[in-house]
């Protein structure tokens, strides 16, 4: 909270004018007029630059405007006058965390601990810093240290809930956020966090209710609207999802994500023309948004438009895609329109992601086989079989690759493991016949090669 100044002043000198400016800044800050408050504080600081609380108030105002890096400078200036003020130091540490300067944040919080070991926020706020650094054990340690000082701090439960959620410990995160809501029902975004935890935990009914609770408190919060819409979309409630995305566009007509998700709804309903219009709008308002080009490529591919498919896929691949399933689907489209290099790049990028599946290895194997690299293809298909052993088409594919390599024992092994049922029966018989014929020719060639030296020896004997 901003530090107040006395309200009764005499305008007889610069000192009184500075105090008056600071008081007016406080009133503007309380009314939410951050820019105007900042102007008044600038005037006050120019007239009386030795007041630590004015630098502190300026930093708080900049925090309200989300200008965190600039706020850091004013917190530092405030500390020049009051170097052991733990409140100012704590705010500085929080802003170091906000600006991803985690080592500096930890250093500040450790200084606070040395000055005042019972200052609980120095432990509570370290939970966030350690979570961002993925040092989850240290984050949990800070939580328990904070608990020894204040066992009923809602922010501690909120922060450790965030840490647990990041580690996919959703039930524990849900418990912590429930505790936070119990201690402070009005804690910022607590219902949003509860909704997210319920969403991923499969508690759909409660998740829906928590989203509604959050929107009652923050009806204009775009992240909540978009996530709620996506939650409804995944739940199959297309009408409600459409209403949420449309409301988001009422608040911000240039919201690319809302346009994209509306496109997803139209696509699900097979209203292709409107879906295309939404995807194009999403691309217009955010050139870096992942998804619209991929969807447009799918639509072009279904229409047989290879040129448009290629153009959209290549543009999508330039973005930072981390979804292995999307990359694999892109690879298959490239493969089917004959762009082998692009296909291989997509499959290999998919394999770099943590959620890569056998399908990615299968696609890369097919791409290598078409290139003529049968050894590499065989390795990829075998890896796909390890990941997805119940897919018979993988064994058939491996059989054909070993057929090309003339590894007859491996072909026979694949045939033995592949079920002879529809829809694979025809391909199974085809591979079986081809392998038998090729094996027969191979044996004939070996027999002829052994026989030829004998024929040559007999002819030479007659000549002798």
Examine the fold and report which residue of 286, 311, 335 is the final residue of a domain before the chain moves on: 286
Q: What is the pLDDT of residue 458?
A: 45
Question: How far does CA 27 lie from the centroid of its chain?
Answer: 41
Cβ-based neighbour number of residue 101 at 10 Å: 17
The answer to whether 320 and 301 have CB atoms below 8 angstroms apart is no
Stretch (H or E) spanning 43: helix 34-47
Question: How far does CA 284 lie from the centroid of its chain?
Answer: 22
Closest by alpha carbon to 409, among 417, 381, 377?
Answer: 417
Examine the fold and report which residue of 376, 398, 426 is the final residue of a domain before the chain moves on: 376
Examine the fold and report which residue of 357, 376, 395 is the final residue of a domain before the chain moves on: 376
Structure tokens at 332: 């298959």
Same domain, 268 and 343: no
Distance (Å, whole) CA 456 – CA 99 = 85
Whether 323 maps to a domain, the answer reads yes
Same domain, 232 and 296: no
Whether 232 maps to a domain, the answer reads yes
3-state secondary structure 224-267: HHHHHHHHHHHHCCHHHHHHHHHHHHHHCCCCHHHHHHHHHHHH
Q: What is the pLDDT of residue 320?
A: 85
- Domain that includes residue 227, residue range: 207-286
Cβ-based neighbour number of residue 365 at 10 Å: 27
Same domain, 256 and 276: yes
Same domain, 304 and 268: no
Whether 224 maps to a domain, the answer reads yes
Same domain, 274 and 337: no
Same domain, 281 and 300: no
Same domain, 252 and 314: no
Same domain, 270 and 295: no
> What's the CATH number where 351 sits?
1.25.40.10
Query: What are the distances in angstroms from CA 111 to CA 104, 114, 156?
Result: 11, 5, 20
Looking at the structure of the chain, the number of domains it has is: 2
Whether 238 maps to a domain, the answer reads yes
Query: What are the distances in angstroms from CA 133 to CA 130, 155, 298?
Result: 5, 19, 38
Same domain, 306 and 274: no
Q: What is the pLDDT of residue 356?
A: 75
Whether 228 maps to a domain, the answer reads yes
Same domain, 234 and 255: yes
Same domain, 218 and 280: yes
Whether 440 maps to a domain, the answer reads no
The answer to whether 76 and 92 have CB atoms below 8 angstroms apart is yes
Structure tokens at 424: 């694979």
Whether 359 maps to a domain, the answer reads yes
Cβ-based neighbour number of residue 169 at 10 Å: 16
Whether 347 maps to a domain, the answer reads yes
Same domain, 274 and 335: no
Cα Rg for the chain, rounded, in angstroms? Answer: 33
pTM: 0.77
Closest by alpha carbon to 411, among 395, 424, 388?
Answer: 395
The answer to whether 331 and 343 have CB atoms below 8 angstroms apart is yes
Note down pLDDT in tens along the chain; length 464 residues.
Answer: 555 554 444 444 555 666 666 666 666 666 666 676 666 666 666 666 677 777 888 888 888 888 999 989 989 988 988 999 999 999 999 999 999 999 999 999 999 999 999 999 999 999 999 999 999 999 999 999 999 999 999 999 999 999 999 999 999 999 999 999 999 999 999 999 999 999 999 999 999 999 999 999 988 899 999 999 999 999 999 999 999 999 999 999 999 999 999 999 999 999 999 999 999 999 999 999 999 999 999 999 999 999 999 999 999 999 989 999 999 999 999 999 999 999 999 999 999 987 778 999 999 999 999 989 999 989 998 999 899 888 878 887 888 788 788 787 787 777 777 665 444 455 545 555 555 545 544 554 554 455 455 445 444 444 43
* Direct distance between the N- and C-terminal alpha carbons of the chain, in angstroms, rounded to an integer: 116
């Amino acid at each position: 909270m901003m530090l107040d100044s006395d309200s009764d002043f005499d305008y007889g000198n610069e000192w009184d004018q500075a105090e008056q400016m600071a008081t007016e800044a406080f009133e503007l800050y309380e009314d939410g007029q951050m820019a105007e408050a900042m102007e008044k504080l600038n005037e006050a600081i120019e007239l009386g630059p030795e007041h630590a609380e004015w630098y502190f108030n300026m930093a708080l105002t900049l925090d309200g405007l989300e200008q965190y890096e600039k706020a850091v400078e004013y917190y530092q200036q405030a500390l020049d006058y009051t170097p052991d003020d733990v409140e100012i130091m704590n705010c500085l540490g929080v802003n170091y965390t906000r600006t991803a300067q985690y080592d500096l944040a930890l250093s500040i919080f450790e200084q606070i601990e040395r000055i005042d070991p019972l200052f609980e926020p120095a432990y509570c706020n370290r939970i966030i810093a350690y979570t961002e650094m993925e040092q989850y054990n240290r984050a949990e340690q800070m939580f328990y240290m904070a608990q020894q000082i204040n066992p009923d701090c809602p922010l501690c439960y909120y922060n450790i809930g965030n840490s647990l959620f990041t580690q996919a410990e959703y039930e524990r995160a849900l418990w912590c956020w429930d505790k936070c809501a119990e201690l402070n029902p009005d804690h910022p975004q607590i219902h949003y966090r509860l909704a997210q935890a319920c969403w991923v935990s499969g508690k759909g009914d409660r998740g829906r209710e928590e989203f509604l609770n959050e929107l009652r408190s923050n009806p204009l919060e775009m992240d909540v609207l978009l996530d709620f819409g996506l939650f409804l979309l995944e739940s199959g409630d297309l009408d409600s999802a459409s209403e949420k995305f449309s409301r988001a566009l009422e608040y911000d007509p240039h919201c690319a994500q809302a346009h994209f998700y509306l496109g997803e709804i139209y696509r699900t309903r097979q209203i292709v023309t409107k879906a295309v219009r939404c995807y194009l709008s999403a691309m217009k308002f955010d050139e870096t948004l992942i998804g619209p080009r991929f969807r447009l490529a799918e639509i072009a591919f279904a229409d047989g438009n290879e040129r448009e498919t290629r153009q959209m896929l290549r543009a999508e691949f330039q973005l930072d895609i981390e979804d292995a399933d999307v990359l694999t689907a892109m690879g298959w489209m490239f493969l089917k329109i004959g762009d082998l290099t692009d296909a291989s790049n997509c499959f290999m990028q998919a394999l770099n992601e943590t959620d890569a599946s056998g399908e990615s290895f299968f696609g890369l194997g097919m791409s290598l086989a078409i290139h003529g690299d049968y050894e590499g293809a065989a390795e990829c298909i075998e890896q796909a079989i390890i990941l997805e052993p119940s897919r018979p088409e993988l064994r058939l594919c491996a059989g054909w690759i070993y057929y090309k390599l003339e590894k007859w024992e491996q072909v026979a092994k694949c045939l033995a493991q592949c079920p002879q049922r529809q829809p694979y029966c025809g391909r199974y018989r085809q591979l079986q016949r081809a392998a038998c014929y090729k094996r027969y020719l191979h044996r004939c060639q070996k027999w002829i090669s052994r026989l030829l030296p004998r024929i040559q020896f007999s002819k030479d004997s007659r000549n002798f």
